[in-house]
Amino acid sequence: MRFGVVVFPGTNCDYDTYYVLKEVLKEEVFFLWHKDRDLRGADCVILPGGFSYGDYLRAGALASFSPIMEEIVSFVEKGGLVLGICNGFQILQEAGLLPGVMLKNKNLKFICKDVFIRVERDNLPFTKKLKKGRVLRIPIAHAEGNFYLEEDELHRLEEREGVVFRYVNEDGELAPEANPNGALNGIAGVVNEKGNVLGMMPHPERVSEPLLGGDEGRLIFESVVEWLKER
C-alpha cells in the first residue's frame, strides 16, 4: 500500500507518522509537500499534526488554501482515503471536507496528556480492526480541540453516526472530567458522509509500538492497510 504524508510549513508530526508506516507497518510511504499537485498514486493520504503556518488566523485555515488541498478534494471525491490527525483534522474542517470547527480549549491552555476515547463505529476503513465500544488510551496535544457545531448540524452529525471517537473515562463513560477541551458531546473524531475521510484530535502515531507506552494507535493504521488490501 502507498501512503502519502502531507507536510505543511509548521507540521511537526510528519516523521512520527512516516516512521510508523515504514518501520512499524513496513508499508510504502513518502512525503508530499504542500505545494505539490501530484499525490503520486497514494492509496491513503495523511495530514499529520503540528502547527501549520503557526496557526495564524485560525488553526488549519491558511493550510486549507495550499495547492495540494485541491488535489486532496478531488481525491476524496473519487473515494480516496484521507486521515487528518490533530492539525490535519483542523485543516480538513477548514477545507470543508469535515464538519464543525475547533474552538480554543475550554481552559484556554495547550493540553498534552493521555486521554481515553471510545470507538463509536467499527465499520469504517479506519476502524476495521477495532470493536465498537472499545476504549483506547491515546495522547492529545493541542490548544484548539474544542469541537463545535451548530445544534441542528450537530443533531444531523449524530443521526448519521458521523462521530467515530468520543472522550470518555477509563470505564468508557461520558463524563465532564474526561472531556479535556470542552468538545460538544465529547467528540474526538468524526467522519464524512461517504466514510472515506476521518479527522481525529488524538495522536495514534504516538502509541503505535510498546516502546512508547502502548500500541493501540497502531490499530487505526493497520485498519486502513487491511481495508485497502481487501478492496
DSSP one-letter code for 11:
B
Q: Which positions of the chain have pLDDT values less than 70?
A: none
Q: How far apart are CA 173 and CA 155, in angstroms?
A: 20
Which residue has 470507538 as its cell numbers? 119
pLDDT of residue 199: 98
pLDDT of residue 57: 87
Q: How far apart are CA 133 and CA 129, in angstroms?
A: 13
Q: Which regions of the chain does DSSP assign to beta strands (E)?
A: 2-7, 28-33, 44-47, 81-85, 101-103, 111-119, 135-142, 146-148, 163-168, 187-191, 197-200
The set of cell numbers assigned to 209 is 509500538
Tens-digit pLDDT profile for residues 39-94 = 999 999 999 999 999 998 899 999 999 999 999 999 999 999 999 999 999 999 99
For residue 177, indicate whether it is catalytic: no
pLDDT of residue 190: 98
For residue 205, indicate whether it is catalytic: yes
pLDDT of residue 153: 98
pLDDT of residue 231: 85
Q: How far apart are CA 204 and CA 227, in angstroms?
A: 18
pLDDT of residue 70: 98
Among the options 71, 86, 94, 222, which is catalytic?
Answer: 86
* Alpha helices, H only, the chain: 14-19, 67-77, 87-94, 151-159, 218-230
Among the options 27, 94, 120, 205, which is catalytic?
Answer: 205
Residue environment code for 122-154, b if the CB has 16+ CB neighbours within 10 A, otherwise e? bebbbbbbbeeeebbebbbbbbbbbbebeeeeb
**Four-point Cα dihedral 83, 87, 92, 94, nearest 10:** 180
The set of cell numbers assigned to 218 is 497502531
For residue 151, indicate whether it is catalytic: no
Q: How far apart are CA 44 and CA 197, in angstroms?
A: 10
Q: How far apart are CA 218 and CA 25, in angstroms?
A: 8
DSSP one-letter code for 50:
B
Among the options 44, 144, 203, 222, which is catalytic?
Answer: 203
| Domains of the chain, start order | 2-230 (3.40.50.880)
Length of the chain: 231
